Amino acid sequence: MSQFENTRIVLASRPEGRPTPQNFRLEQAAIPAISEGQVLLKILYLSLDPYMRGRMSAAKSYAAATEIGQVMEGGTVAEVIESRDPAFKPGDIVLSYSGWQSHAAASAAQLRKLDPANAPVTTALGVLGMPGFTAYAGLLTIGQPKPGETVVVAAASGPVGSAVGQIARIKGARAVGIAGGPEKCAFVRETFGFDAVIDHRDPDMAGKLAAACPNGIDVYFENVGGHVWDAVFPLLNTFARIPVCGLVAQYNASGEFPGPDRLPMLMREVLSKSLTIRGFIQREFVAAQGPAFRKEMASWIADGSVKYKEDVVQGLENAPEALIGLLEGKNFGKLIIKL
């Protein structure tokens, strides 16, 4: 890579269903010039997250779609290589939202300085960043787990699910995880310390989940939807809380959803069991809870009550395949591209 060129990946076309490598295009561009109040960044790490599939689609959502030809969006950890703002100097490491590219100009006001002495800088993209905060805010604000209750979460080896289960246990609840395959399940039980783990590829997942939740489910932190939701639904207790965080099982779906309309059944249960189902986007909680999260999560990591796993893939050019794989469970931990 020439130091005078910006290597970047743009959205080449919108996917129908599962994305393909052809939906992305790798190109070279000039390194941007910076103006007063800006810094020039060399990107070190790029976060890959399920929401990126949504940005590739033109469907109406909570955030604007990425335009065709526009650089794919994403959270990044970067090094300042030139500064026209007194708050930053070359060599500073920052959290930025610079997307899938090797270099970027950024407004100093939108950056947060990272201290590599405090924590590995990649954690700002995972356990100490947006996914960890999503778990913290969604579980504590909406889920409100109480001692002795049962909390269930899927995608339990990923950055959101693993934090949900571990925070649930800190609050005295039982954590039951759902993950894909024996290797992930073993890790969730042994390293993240969940009380029980179910493999969602097991043909008897629903039976195993019922056996793992003998007192029913008080909090279901919804990360995936699909057949996991079908197994969870009959086990929900009266007054259960369901933070709806993500539906990764259906992000690649196209056209009408299959099957009968089960909305009347859902509404009957919402009423008769006094269920609380609330969707959320993490950023709605950032202003109120961001500082408390960073302090509390850092202390949990320091005392060993929260552990995390990162899955680092080398090379920006491998980001498209890695994102496609993320939507199918090929990642194992917080997915990060090292540039």
Ligand X SMILES: NC(=O)c1ccc[n+]([C@@H]2O[C@H](COP(=O)([O-])OP(=O)(O)OC[C@H]3O[C@@H](n4cnc5c(N)ncnc54)[C@H](OP(=O)(O)O)[C@@H]3O)[C@@H](O)[C@H]2O)c1
Q: How far is CA 80 from its chain centroid?
A: 26
Q: Smaller CB distance to ligand X: residue 6 or 157?
A: 157
Beta bridge partners of 31: none
Regarding 7 and contact with ligand X (CB under 6 A), the answer is: no
Regarding 208 and contact with ligand X (CB under 6 A), the answer is: no
Q: How far is CA 249 from its chain centroid?
A: 14
Q: Smaller CB distance to ligand X: residue 49 or 149?
A: 49
Among 76, 122, 134, 237, binds ligand X (CB under 6 A): 134
The values of phi and psi at residue 205, to 5°, are -55, -45
Among 41, 77, 179, 323, binds ligand X (CB under 6 A): 179
Judge whether 151 and 174 are in contact, CB under 8 Å: yes
Closest distance to ligand X from the beta carbon of 116 (Å): 23
Among 8, 169, 200, 309, binds ligand X (CB under 6 A): 200
Q: Which of residues 310-329 bind ligand X (CB under 6 A)?
A: 326, 329
Beta bridge partners of 7: 28
How far apart, in whole angstroms, are the C-alpha atoms of residue 274 and residue 240?
Answer: 7
* Continuous segment of H or E residues that includes residue 188: helix 182-190
Regarding 131 and contact with ligand X (CB under 6 A), the answer is: yes
Q: Smaller CB distance to ligand X: residue 66 or 157?
A: 157
* Continuous segment of H or E residues that includes residue 274: none
Among 157, 217, 293, 300, binds ligand X (CB under 6 A): 157
Among 15, 37, 193, 226, binds ligand X (CB under 6 A): 226
Which of these ranges, 78-86, 176-184, 230-238, 291-299, lies near ligand X under the rule CB under 6 A? 176-184
Closest distance to ligand X from the beta carbon of 331 (Å): 5
Site size for ligand X, by CB under 6 A? 31
The values of phi and psi at residue 119, to 5°, are -160, 155
The values of phi and psi at residue 147, to 5°, are -55, 135
Q: Indicate the Cα dihedral angle 233, 235, 240, 243, nearest 10°.
A: -40
Residue 204: half-sphere exposure toward Cβ, Cα within 13 Å? 5
By CB under 6 A, name the binding residues for ligand X: 49-51, 131, 134, 154-155, 157-161, 179-180, 184, 200, 223-224, 226, 228, 245-246, 248-249, 280-282, 326, 329, 331, 335
